[in-house]
């Protein structure tokens, strides 16, 4: 059963996923190789690196706030004499 706070967290995580999907579709950096970030990284590559970091953060938040607590429980196996 979900609590109101987990429902809110789930909504925020899904909003973050949708936002990353939308901002990933960059058409404004396709023909741009300048300015160079740190003097050697093209701006489009730096942009996608930032998107990847954001996606990793969103995944970590999804694991923390949206992952069910009991999904990783391993059922106890009892040995019986019946084969």
Residues in the chain, overall count: 83
Interatomic CA distance for residues 52 and 65, integer angstroms: 20
Q: pTM of the predicted model, to two decimals?
A: 0.67
**Can you give the residue ranges of every domain in the chain?**
12-28+56-66
Task: Classify 17 as helix, strand or coil.
Answer: helix
pLDDT tens for each residue of the chain, 83 residues long: 455 567 888 888 899 999 999 988 877 777 777 788 888 888 888 888 999 999 999 999 888 888 777 766 677 777 765 55
- Alpha-carbon torsion (30, 33, 36, 42), positive or negative: positive
């Amino acid at each position: 059963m979900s609590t109101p706070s987990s429902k809110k967290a789930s909504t925020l995580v899904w909003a973050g996923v949708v936002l990353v999907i939308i901002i990933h579709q960059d058409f404004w950096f396709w023909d741009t190789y300048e300015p160079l970030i740190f003097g050697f990284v093209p701006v489009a590559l730096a942009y996608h690196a930032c998107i990847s970091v954001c996606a990793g953060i969103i995944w970590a938040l999804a694991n923390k706030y949206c992952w069910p607590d009991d999904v990783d429980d391993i059922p106890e196996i009892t040995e019986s004499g019946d084969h």
